[in-house]
Amino acid sequence: MNSIGFDETRVTPVPPRLEVKNLMRSFEGRTVVNDISFAIQPGQVTCLLGPSGCGKSTTLRMIAGVEMQDSGEIYVDGALVCDTIFRLPPERREIGLMFQDFALFPHLSVADNVAFGLTSGSKAEKRARVEELLERVDLMRFIDGYPHQLSGGEQQRVALARALAPKPKIMLMDEPFSGLDNRLRDGIRDETLNILKEQDTAVLLVTHEPEEAMRMADEIALMRDGRIVQHGAPYNVYTRPVDRAALAFFSDANVLHATVEGALAQTPFGQFLAPGHPDGTMVDIVFRPQHVRIDFDRGGTGPKPTATDGTAARGVVQRARFMGNESLVEFVMDYDDSILRATVPNVFLPKVGTVMWLTIRRDKCFVFDA
């Protein structure tokens, strides 16, 4: 009982719109989806992000009902949709699908394509729903046209309208924007997201592109070898990676190798705290190129050591490239001839062979078991 006499323990929690529990799937003795669990709320976008072959599409196909799991359960609004005994057919799951090849029916008009999934309602009601959706995706002028008369982006918007027509509770999207050219993609991504949020649809988006996941997701589930290795808000997944591979999936990564002595790792950039790593173990100190600071050589010395940046180490410019918003400078380091990369905002293109001193932002480094 709380202070206003309300018994919070008797409130039934609202179940997630989509919940999957312990999904498993093997092909020919190889486990490709390994104990996947997650939940998505209405209006929330979760991205399954991972390299090719890690099991993203298989997970999505099991939720859609076109692939059967070996074990595990799928729930929609708290109701069981599929386990190893019970299986609701795909068309009764109230799930919409969008894929890269959005496969509109070429012989059907735009209106008939959008109406395709509408099974109930009178002819007039169906027509009204089609018009409402085509208005929403700004394609009313094409209502009587055919797919071949539309650009890739317009076809994609028709596919979205078609998927939304039966008012699905959940939208499953498998790399839906990868067939579009860059100029179109950002606009269509944002517009699609606005519409799905507006309709309170729970969205599961599969992608192998970190930028797409960061741009679209409320939550990212990072997958590797059939497992979710990290799950959280994009900011947390990016800034607190669980391991070196998770960090390197989002950006270029520099690595220093060191051995731990007395909970400290000694490196050419000074000491790093390595709590929890026993003495004698090898660790990788990993950091992104944007967290490397560059200083000019001052008669054979670099900047003085500081608590935040540690000791400077000397390197020689091997390559410098202008990348648009930033410049990428590659150094061969004096201490072991390894390569370190630094990015600098705007234009900074030092000549090959220039001697410089590098320091690393200590608070942006991660110490992982090697």
Ligand X SMILES: Nc1ncnc2c1ncn2[C@@H]1O[C@H](COP(=O)(O)OP(=O)(O)OP(=O)(O)O)[C@@H](O)[C@H]1O
Please report how close the Cβ of residue 57 comes to ligand X at its closest, in angstroms: 3
Between 48 and 137, CB nearer to ligand X? 48
Residues 285 and 362: beta-carbon distance below 8 Å: no
Place of tokens 């935040």: 308
Q: 233-240 contacts: CB < 8 A, separation 24 or more? A: 238/214
Residue type, 1: M
Q: Write the CB contacts of 167 (distance below 8 Å, at least 6 apart in sequence).
A: 94, 199
Please report how close the Cβ of residue 203 comes to ligand X at its closest, in angstroms: 17
* Pairing mode, strands 18-27 and 202-207: unpaired
Residues 215 and 47: beta-carbon distance below 8 Å: no
Between 50 and 289, CB nearer to ligand X? 50
Please report how close the Cβ of residue 229 comes to ligand X at its closest, in angstroms: 13
Please report how close the Cβ of residue 267 comes to ligand X at its closest, in angstroms: 36
Q: How far is CA 92 from the centre of its chain?
A: 28
Q: Write the CB contacts of 300 (distance below 8 Å, at least 6 apart in sequence).
A: none
Between 2 and 52, CB nearer to ligand X? 52
Please report how close the Cβ of residue 52 comes to ligand X at its closest, in angstroms: 3
Between 58 and 254, CB nearer to ligand X? 58
Between 171 and 333, CB nearer to ligand X? 171
Residues 22 and 82: beta-carbon distance below 8 Å: no
Please report how close the Cβ of residue 240 comes to ligand X at its closest, in angstroms: 24
Between 57 and 155, CB nearer to ligand X? 57
Residues 105 and 116: beta-carbon distance below 8 Å: yes
Please report how close the Cβ of residue 87 comes to ligand X at its closest, in angstroms: 17
DSSP 99-138: ESS----TTS-HHHHHHTT--SS-HHHHHHHHHHHHHHTT
Interacting residue ranges for ligand X, rule: CB under 6 A: 27, 32, 50, 52-58, 208
Q: Write the CB contacts of 319 (distance below 8 Å, at least 6 apart in sequence).
A: 329, 330, 352
Between 32 and 285, CB nearer to ligand X? 32
Please report how close the Cβ of residue 133 comes to ligand X at its closest, in angstroms: 28
Between 57 and 327, CB nearer to ligand X? 57
Q: In what order do the strands lie in the sheet with 30-40?
A: 30-40, 18-27, 71-76, 79-82
